[in-house]
Structure 1
C-alpha cells in the first residue's frame, strides 16, 4: 500500500509561501545597500524572536486591570460575607433574646393570673369575715342597753358608772350583774381609745 501524503491545507497559503520565498531570493540576489543592510539586521532580529503584536500590550494592560478589579471585588465580597455573618449572628442573638423575653412574659402572665385568682378568693374570704363580724355586732346590740341623757360629772370614774347602771336596772326591774357591766365598760373604753 502506497503512502499518502496530505495535500497542503489551501492553495492560498502555498501561494503566499512561494511569494515570501521569491522575495527573499530577490533580496539576496540584489547588491546590498546601507538601507538593505539595516533592514536585514532588523529582519534578522525580528526573525530570531517571535513578532510582538501591537495589541498584545493592550491585552496585557487590560488583563492587569482586570486582575486588579477582580482582586478588589473579591476583597469587597469577603467584607460583605463577614458583615453577613455578623448580621446572621446578631439575628440569632436577637431571636434567642426574644424567645427568652417571650418565655418570661408567659411566666409573668401565668403568675398574674394565679395572683388574680388568689385575690378573688381572698376578697371572698374577707367579705365572709366582714359578714360574720357584722352578724356578731348585731347580736351584741340586741343584748345591750343604751342609756342616754345622763349628765356628765367632772370627776366621774368607772365605779360611779357601774353604780348608775345598777340603779337604772333596779328602777326598770332588770337584774344587772357587776361582772357583765365591767366587761361592757372594758369593751367600750377600748373602742374609744
Structure 2
C-alpha cells in the first residue's frame, strides 16, 4: 500500500504561508482587542444607565413629595374657600331676608306717609280757612280804627294824651272831633321799637271822613302833616295816618308798596282792610290779597 505525502513546499510557497498566518494572527489579535473594547464600553454604559436610574428615582420621589405637599395645601385652601363661600351664602340669605323685611316696612311706611300727606293737606286747607276767618274777624274789629305812625313817644304818655292829639289833628284837617267820638286809644309795642298809636272811633263813618280829610290836607299842603303842625316838641317829622290793618294785610301792604316802587306803580293804598294797586290814572285797579297776586302782576306786565 502506497502512501502519498505532501510534496515539500517551495521557499516561495513557504513564505507565502507564513505571511498568511501572520496576517491571520494579526486579524485575530485586532478582533480580540475590538471585542475587549466593546466589552468595556458595554460595562461603562451599563454603569451610567444605573446612575441615571437612581437619579430619576430620587427626582420622582422628590416630585411626589412636592406634589403631595401641594395637594395638601390646595386641600386646605379649598376647605377654607368652601367655608368662606358657605359663610357668604349664609350672609346673602340673611341679607335677602333683611331686604324683604325692609321692602315690606318701606311699603307700610309709604302707605302711612301717603295717609299723613293727605291728612296734612286737609289740615293745611282747614288752617288756611281758619286764618282767613280770623283775619276777617280782625279786620271787622278794626273797621273803625286808624293808626298814627312816627309820633314821638315819652314814658308818661296816656290815653288822654292820645285823645288830645286826635282832637288837635281834627282841628288841622277841619274835622271836629270830640272826646266822646273816640272809643279807645293806645300805642302798640314790638320787641325792637315802639309801634304806631291806634285810635278806635265810635263808628266807621267818622273814621272814613277823618282819613279822607287827612289825604286832602296832604294833597293841598306841601308841608303835609308833621309833628310841628301838631305842636310836638323837637325837630319836625312827618306823620303818617292810615287805617289799621290786620297783621296779614300789614305785611301785604308793605310788600305792595315795595312792589309799586320797583315796577312804577303810581298808586298803592288800603281801604276797608284791603290793599290796592294802580299803575297810573285810568289804569285797571288791582286788589292784592296775597303775595301770589303780586307775582301775577309781574307775569301780566311781561
| TM-score, scaled relative to structure 1 | 0.44
Q: Higher strand share goes to which structure? A: 2
Q: Higher helix share goes to which structure? A: 1
Q: Which has the higher contact order (CA 8 A, sep 6+)?
A: 2
| TM-score, scaled relative to structure 2 | 0.30
